[in-house]
């Protein structure tokens, strides 16, 4: 199976390339890594020629503009990158009978529910910010493309949340840096305690997407997240404890800082079953695997 990955230079893209490289169904040549030089969200018209050149059977669309504050400052640009570019990609893939896996976000939901349940795929999306609106528009554009004469091609929408792992600074690495600054200043570390989500290890998400591909049963909307729910403050305490940094953590509301964008207060997704029937492990177990790499990278950067 020839599998192409957009955004192959990003956090999730690199994890997908590694996971696909170990999958038996990708063959000796392995996956096609489409970095920004191959597929640019600002120049998506080139996708037709790219599909004709590389002839993938499946495209995993991991490329996105995920700067939520940037999206709030430039909502039209967010729509072009996360919605219009996705629509062009989906049309080109559907027209050629190519399966598409579109990676989306928990921020298509407004986070206002108070029943303690995670959002299901059939819950009505109500994005609370421009980033979420642009990603939902991308989902809708892809569904329209695959509702037409797409033959036997399948569309999978994979929503996830709070990704962490190797790559550009993630929440754990930012918390470590902030904790060290607070300790040096003799001050407590203030962390938002009224936003909840599913911290999700990018390597686990990549393996789950590979499992979906290997099953041949892609079609539908999938919520793929690690197990258990956490607030930002819960997660920060876990990270700081693993690093052994002696600093007090003080819970504060999200309104403590002015930002162009606001995340959903309850950004929790209910995981959907994977083909194996096995859920992703709880996020603290994933953090235990990630922590040594995180701490080594932190030591090198000092």
Active site residues: 131
In angstroms, what CA-CA distances link 97 with 64, 87, 139, 222, 292?
Answer: 23, 15, 18, 21, 43
Q: How far is 82 from 64, CA to CA, in rounded Å? A: 6
- What is the rounded distance in angstroms from the CA atom of residue 265 to the CA atom of residue 191? 14
Whether the Cβ atoms of residue 24 and residue 211 lie closer than 8 Å to each other: no
Tokens of 81: 């990158």
Determine how many CB atoms are found less than 10 A away from the CB of residue 190: 17
Question: Contact at 8 Å (CB) between 89 and 48?
Answer: no
Neighbours of 142 (CB within 10 A): 26
């Amino acid at each position: 199976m020839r599998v192409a990955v957009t955004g192959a230079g990003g956090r999730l893209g690199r994890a997908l390339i590694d996971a696909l490289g170990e999958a038996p169904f990708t063959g000796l040549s392995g996956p096609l890594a489409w970095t920004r030089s191959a597929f640019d969200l600002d120049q998506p018209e080139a996708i037709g020629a790219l599909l004709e050149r590389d002839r993938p059977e499946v495209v995993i669309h991991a490329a996105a503009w995920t700067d939520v504050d940037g999206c709030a400052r430039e909502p039209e640009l967010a729509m072009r990158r996360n919605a219009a570019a996705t629509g062009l990609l989906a049309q080109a893939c559907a027209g050629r009978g190519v399966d598409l896996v579109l990676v989306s976000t928990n921020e298509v939901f407004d986070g206002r529910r108070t029943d303690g349940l995670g959002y299901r795929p059939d819950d009505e999306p109500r994005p609370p910010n421009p980033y979420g609106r642009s990603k939902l528009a991308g989902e809708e554009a892809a569904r329209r493309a695959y509702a037409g004469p797409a033959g036997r091609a399948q569309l999978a929408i994979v929503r996830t949340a709070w990704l962490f792992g190797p790559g550009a600074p993630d929440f754990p690495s930012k918390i470590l840096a902030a904790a060290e600054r607070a300790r040096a200043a003799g001050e407590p570390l203030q962390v938002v305690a009224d936003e909840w989500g599913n911290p999700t290890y990018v390597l686990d998400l990549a393996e789950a997407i590979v499992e979906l591909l290997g099953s041949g049963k892609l079609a539908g909307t999938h919520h793929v997240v690690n197990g258990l729910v956490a607030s930002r403050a819960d997660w920060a305490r876990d990270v700081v404890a693993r690093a052994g940094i002696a600093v007090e953590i003080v819970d504060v509301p999200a309104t403590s800082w002015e930002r162009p964008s606001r995340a959903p207060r309850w950004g929790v997704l209910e995981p959907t079953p994977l083909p194996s029937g096995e859920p992703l492990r709880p996020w603290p177990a994933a953090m235990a695997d990630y922590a040594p790499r995180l701490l080594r990278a932190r030591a090198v950067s000092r």
